[in-house]
Amino acid sequence: FYSSLGQYKTDVRVENDVFIVSYNETLEQPNWVEYEVRNIVKNFDRRGMNFYEPKDVYTSDNNDYKSNVWDKGHMAPAAAFTDTKEKLKMTFSYLNCSLQFDKLNQGVWEALEAQERVWAKKYGTLQVRIVLRFEQDHKVLPTGGHVPNGYWKYITFPDGRKECFYFPNSAPTKKWGDYKIQCEVERAKTYF
């Protein structure tokens, strides 16, 4: 887990059949995650699947999510990868998980994910990039997990059109469409 300097790494790249992630071992959270939303047929259910720690990368774990308001928020959503059991299981890696406020995860975040699947069915495969935001004074849990202040979500349609959003990591006060922002040149570094 340690770099040659004896520290956790701030940019561990992992790519699999579901997502590409830049993982920050120091924060125990992703820096960013990229994935595609395809028009698929659901063949498998997530029932009984649990998050697991990957080999060779130091991530958050179940202790970070016990008895608090933080959900194990999928970045690449499980529902977008129900076409194969293998892909669905890959979404349950802690590499693809963030300390996400429960009402955000189960509210407008989930609603936008559902809308992405509708768009994929209508327009074709979408490219999605989520970038986590950490401000200097962000919350750090006693277990060591760092809580993001928010999430940028960049969605690119097959014709090149983009939809961009920013969600604070707190209880939502609006509908998902109200979190839309002007698409801008992405920040090269959004953590420290």
- Using alpha carbons, list the distances in angstroms from residue 101 to 72, 156, 169, 171, 188: 9, 25, 6, 7, 25
Place of tokens 């955000």: 104
In whole angstroms, what separates CA 159 from the centre of its chain? 24
Residues 22 and 34: their CA atoms lie apart, in Å, by: 9
Place of tokens 């080999």: 55
Helix (DSSP H) and strand (DSSP E) numbers for the chain:
3, 9
Give me the pLDDT at residue 188, please.
43
Are 108 and 179 a contacting pair, CB within 8 Å? yes
Virtual torsion, Cα 62, 63, 67, 73, nearest 10 deg? -40
- If 0-12 CB within 10 Å is exposed, 13-18 middle and 19+ buried, where does residue 36 land? middle
**Per-residue pLDDT tens for 63-111?**
999 999 999 999 999 999 999 999 999 999 999 999 999 999 999 999 9
Q: Is 34 in a helix, a strand, or coil?
A: strand
Residues 25 and 189: their CA atoms lie apart, in Å, by: 16
Comparing CA positions, the residue from 174, 169, 179 lying closest to residue 147 is 169
**pLDDT above 70 as % of the chain:** 93
Residues 6+ apart with CB under 8 A from 166: 150, 151, 152, 153, 179, 181
**Per-residue pLDDT tens for 31-70?**
999 999 999 999 999 888 999 999 999 999 999 999 999 9
**Per-residue pLDDT tens for 116-125?**
999 999 999 9
